[in-house]
Structure 1
């Protein structure tokens, strides 16, 4: 059965009565489950189960639940899911080429792939392809819910059959696709029917292109391809070839120019010195070659020397196009090999995990205009020269920046804002959005005190059925978060709890903890600052860097990591990203937890106790 295929569009596919799905990049796969068993067939008719046995093994665990819905047929994409909006094309290609059963089995266990299902073609033997798209989607969603499957795509969920949502708002989904560096969007007409083997205009693919400035090195006479390259260490580095995207007159003019300026010719190619610069859009790099390159425009404003490998690698991270990054090679730390470009790319990569915590919060940053080599300063007021896309909110005469999108985050990075500090509430909150305990020991050597305090607090949270999240401060301490529902509690309410915890810690270990505000009277004890959690105070945001000598990052942790082996200096820019890729984001469920937090019974108990006291 040949799949229905979308048509490529370069125009925004925003139309009435259309819906939008994330386009995941993998192997198109048709799942059929009937009395003969399970099969998953590729677009070219290849049996995919020998290469991806984990999908069948997963489905068979739910055989009894699926039994009443057989025979069924689903259309989807078999992927290596990197994040909620992106599949890793290179990883699925490598996996698809494995021959050894042992290696396939190892990969299936260690790094399982997922079948992202976006269409339902048969259910209980009833043909659904004649139903309009929105009805097929509703039936597919109902099937997932009945089986008890989650509807959110999630690379860390053990559910290997995942549902691809249809969204009504293109712009909202597109913002997420860009943020997570996904491949693009499939737009589908709500009333479209599923037509076997047809490339249709009722499904449109709109891709998240990246752009590279490059020059032409040769022309292939047999097929009309223009070979393109960039300079790497003053040598030409070929990055692929481009054929599509030219207007006929542009292509003819280009061929003529190449013929007139050739340096040599053979049976296959005409070669030229680097001179003609152009911009090419492409999907991603695969084996350091461009995938799906399309000509975008000539760059008469560039010299070939401007087209470098470093700029190519920087641009392929899909930073906002109209945002100039100044002095990308500026060193920022004395003892660390971190340039400004590295820092901005860190912000780009970490943005899906960091931005939710910055959203709608009055932002205070610490800027280091000369890196760690000069003076730093706090910035609360948005500077006059900030571009229009930087949104602000006035509070007590200060125009604070609201860092609600990738563009603003990257702009702040270009201003060398290294530390991001946020209040405990959003601009729409009437009270605290969370409780935070800042466990800051008197010195780096006293870090075990922070671990001791954190574990004691965790014991209390567990006994009270409260959900806490923990992160490093990026300096020498730890910070514990309790997410709260919005507009329910006041700071007076939360003060009852923070003071209760402080008193509990002191009662358990008076030689280790204190609430003494005078530094000279604390000795070597950890100061439990329960007063710090109040309106107007700030805390460093999750995943923010710190301006210290080891380039620390305020890194979310799993509770099982909080033990005597924990060392704060080991959490830095490089391994913050590695941690997410290898073990996920410990704060992933943070915002869903807000509605689950059983804080009211605890608060009522504390209020009653204080009255009796």
Structure 2
């Protein structure tokens, strides 16, 4: 790699061209830009910042969002970083003479070391642009005779940002500058005017404002608001003057089944927190809930961030959230951080994501289009960055793709908003919400006491209003921490009632043991649908909603979906009934297994019942080593591979070589639920079946990062293992471990003994460590693992095990080892990203199995020789 810009300098006469001079610059950033260039031939110049220069390619046909569609990219001379902001006219007769437009811009990140990628001729980049996003591949072609420049292929990866060949071409759909909102002819018509600033966000003194139509078109393709701005957006400054209101009834999103597409819509991530209006009045701040309650005292960090904004008066709309270990907003985590109902403690970790601006310095912004309000909001928020204040960025790509992406990541959903609409209080069609899972508020009508704690709740009885009538909706028995369980019992005792508040008489089973309460508390519940008799299926408690009145709780149905069937009164055909799941009785079903999440034994059993088709193929008919935590993940846990007293009939004992006692195996869902009943939180199967225990039918490479190792290095390690295996014509698959690392898994025909399997995997691990000693180690010694990835091959001996695909882990956050497709590897999904609370959202929204074909692969190690495992140079 070089910072030499001699080639750039030699081709230009800077007394005649307005292009920036060849100063190398000292930036260590990661910007990218795509400039549409109408020279002798129309093309697109793709540039990424590396080592203080912009590495550049001329892409004749421009980038394509269709996966696998190869676009020729001819490498050109390095450009200075200042070139990123150049838009204008290169005079005729000069090198590259013609019109230049800044078609897209943003930041990029490498999937692996880009310097080694350039050496190898394969660079994978993740773009975060205003038009282009996701994973892209740059692949160098072999030079032909007499060729003096390198030609590459630019290829889009098949991810959530990709499009089919039948969908609109992004080059046609978004043909305007992200800076000026102009087309190439409009820039050419401007003559000698040149857009050239540190971010390309403003014009020089000779430039006038872009036409309104052009600006509107530019905003329709915007992904992010400018990262830095110094004064309020002109449109906001021209808004009508008005006094700062005390409170504005918030705009509410209408539930729909399908996202909206097209240039008229922008899309945001749906946060999982408390909706708050932040009111700033000459340094004094109020934080108001959606019903107007003053919660300023509960969020001191957010209050300080709002107070620091450079405005006299402002009214922001947004959401207070607490993010979990995977960086995802979690209502349960927010509830814990607040210390329970009533705000006994304030939140120390809450962030405020601002997504709208209703008033600014004496101006009423509500009549302005959303894009103009957000432009003003971005200016305000970015002018003085605060740790507790974030901008809720939007994406203007099609909503279906964003919804699929959000759901595959286990997020709650997205909000679709009309880009040109004013702020409309109340529920309307200009804000729509698309949920990744079914989640709603319900009224708490009573509870059943816990069988574990005499002062706690075992389950809540739920309902919703239909007119004036309270309708029974079943029970929820998981999601309570021990503290929440006690607090709920105390709160419900304070409003206890002598009779059922439901309009219709309940059955004897539904009434049995219930302690009734006045219908005043509102709970947020996540669930998996409804039974035939109108009860929630697989419900999980997320917290109390103190910002919503019980009388406002109705059964919410997507506007574009058919009405749900009325309760039939017939018995429900469901997996879970009370304390019985898949026919297995659970003792103490409300026992909390993961205290921070409040996931109970019943909750874990219902989780496995819901994903049975995914997990069972990886755990049945195999010798199992188990991690048992009978009292929960934070209490005593231990490995167990032999029988215990009271072993269920659905858990079999099987003989295995090398052990004088039989091990354990299961055959079906009942056996899996029996493991849950016994307090099993982790399942570690052999890499062999019980019928052929001395021959491996899969091998595993465990990429385990040491201290100070970046996640990108773990991804790079997994990809390198895959590359070495591919060179030997072996197909491999990848999964998160539920911990810090990744597993690369290779299915095999069961024809190779354990000694040969272990020797094979050891050779690969040792060759990786030998080729890149600064990256990898192949020994367990912790003293040499700092800053390196341990390529653990020791999972491949007889009796050795690794955590099963879709097994939970006995770690904080209830993480789950989760199979991924290779294209899903990236910064968004860490080793512990998926968990009991969000995995089912992912699985429900996948278009196919990430490990499709895993059990059909027929491949053997017998033809492979150790020397073939060295990495190709």
The structure whose residues are more often helix, as a share, is: 1
- Which structure has the larger Rg? 2
Q: More relative contact order in 1 or in 2 (CA 8 Å, sep 6+)?
A: 1
**If the length of structure 2 is used for normalisation, what is the TM-score?**
0.35
